[in-house]
Structure 1
Amino acid sequence: MPPDAPVVASWIVRPRRALALVFALSLATGSGQAEESVSFDIPSQPLAKALHAFSAATGIEVLVDARPAAGHRAPDLKGSLPPHEALSILLAGSNLVARDFGRDTVILAAMSPAPTSLMEDQRYFADVQRAVEHALCADERTLPGRYRLALKLWVGPSGEVTRAKRLDTTGDRARDDALDAAISRISVGTSPPPLLAQPIAVIVSPSYTGTITGCPAGVLPRRAANR
């Protein structure tokens, strides 16, 4: 499947530990043309309100039945992103996908994928979560809990990450550089399901207390070279 294939599923993976990883498949623009990035500062809130804030920030009218959006909470969205990437993050965990993404209007619709496919995707997202945890926890500069990270991953048939893109900045250039190095070392180790749409968007959220969270037992971080 090509890198910019439309979304067919989205999930929030609730981890065993405090590290929050949100997985969603990225959306594609209807025109296939590159989009200009927009500055977003949307806090976590009910999805309907988050979509309203998205519309206000982009000038894109969002057409959606309120019933599928009810009961879902969108994650926080901060930073400069193309609108279709920003929308994919807001829709993570909901049952909504973009059926038509135009220049001024996006139409959202509920989707009901096959249960077997959803179970395979969920199991694979758990594998991706573990791989991301190990990569971030292997360096003290990238220990999760004190920053927010959003990125997209493409995984090849062997389970290797063939491409990765960081979607925002933590506000710390040294940490961003360390994150780029850590992201380049991510390896899932297992093949993705045959029908899994890619890329996979990953959000690592900070803990409420700002403390280090989510690292598996036995993973010892390497110290920064300048320490």
Structure 2
Amino acid sequence: MPGLLRAEPLGPPQIDSPQLLALDLPTQNLADALEAFSRSTGMAVLVDRELTRGRRSIGVHGRYSAREALGLLLTGSGLVARYARSDAFTLQVPEASQPLSPKGPRAARINSSYATALQQAIERSLCRSPLTRPGSFRALVQVWIGPDGSIEHSRLVSSTGDVQRDEALVRSLGSTRVERLAPSSLRQPLTLLLMPDTTGTRMECTAREGASGV
């Protein structure tokens, strides 16, 4: 029988509370991250260890609600949380996964037409610099989009591993404008995972650079 990861809370459950918790969870094995998350938030988790084997968590640093923190922690792991009750959860593989593109950012819970417009706008901005060329790095970012489609604020949740690239990425996002009105139901900030290209077919930016005059 496969082993189970059981993590019991030390304090009262917090998952439905709007209270923001100060968290400092590094990138690590997913099983260890879940145990640390449980201790920090008061949530109980019951997960088959075979499901977490070989998976890594995203680092979570800052102030978040328990639900927001768990969503960030699981980003890129291929797993989603299923709540057994308000103070406990388990993990499962989603029935269907709909990334925007194998080579672009992934955004959840927004309609496909807006997601496509968002991806194209971000890729145009990132193509303006060799440092931020899509497909060459991995990063987790949060963006706040204004009424006119401009990204008014961005926050780097996990570093690209290069301080100079981090700064260039934030600058690039600050000059981005989405050429489509956001749906009224859009919840902000949007969390985007920028993925490295592992296929050997990195997106070519030449045409877009020429069109923009960069």
Q: TM-score range by the shorter chain?
A: 0.5 to 0.7
- 8 Å CA contact 2:154–2:173 kept in 1: the answer is yes
Cα-to-partner distance string for 1:59-83 (whole Å, 9 max, x where unaligned): 35454799xxxx9xx9854445347
1:191 corresponds to: 181
Q: Tell me, which stretches of 5 or more residues in structure 2 are unaligned?
A: 1-14, 93-107
What CA distance in whole angstroms lies between the structure 2 residues aligned with 1:169 and 1:180? 11
Aligned residues: 174
> Within the alignment, does 1:138 sit opposite 2:128 as a pair?
yes
Task: Note if contact 1:98-1:106 (Cα within 8 Å) is conserved in structure 2.
Answer: yes
Structure 1: segments with no counterpart, 5+ residues: 1-27, 43-49, 111-117, 223-227
Determine helix, strand or coil for the equivalent of 1:162. strand
How far apart in 2 are the matches of 1:97 and 1:200?
21
Identity among equivalent positions (%) equals 21
Other-structure match for 2:61: 81
Which residue of 2 is the match for residue 126 of structure 1?
116
TM-score by length of 1: 0.59
TM-score when normalising by structure 2: 0.62
Change beyond 3 A, Cα 1:30–1:169: same
What does residue 213 of structure 1 align with?
Answer: 202
Summarize the alignment of residues 1-227 of structure 1 with structure 2, pairs less than 5 Å apart.
30-42=17-29, 50=30, 52-58=31-37, 59=39, 61-63=43-45, 77-82=57-62, 84=66, 85-89=68-72, 90=74, 96=81, 105=87, 107=89, 121-208=111-198, 213-216=202-205, 218-220=207-209
What is the identity, as a one-letter code, of the residue corresponding to 1:179? L
Deviations 1:167-204 (A, max 9, x none): 11122111111112111112112211111222110011
CA contact (8 A) 1:144 1:212 kept: no
Decide whether the 8 Å contact of 2:58 with 2:75 is kept in 1.
no
What root-mean-square deviation, in Å, do the aligned CA atoms of Structure 1 and Structure 2 show? 4.1
Larger Rg: 2
1:129 deviates by: 1.0
- Once the two structures are superposed, what CA deviation does each residue of 1:80-132 show, in whole Å capped at 9, x if it has no partner? 5347555223267877577988xxx554799xxxxxxx996222111111111
State the shift of 1:215 in Å.
4.2
Report deviation, 1:155: 1.3
Find the counterpart in structure 2 of residue 115 from structure 1: none
Residue 35 of structure 2 aligns with an amino acid whose one-letter code is A
Structure 1 residue matching 2:209: 3-state secondary structure: coil
- Once the 2 structures are TM-superposed, how far is the Cα of residue 164 of structure 1 from its aligned partner? 1.1
- Return the alpha-carbon distance in structure 2 between the equivalents of residues 205 and 75 of structure 1: 16
The one-letter code of the counterpart of 1:188 is V
Write the distance in 2 (CA, Å) between the matches of 1:201 and 1:151. Answer: 6
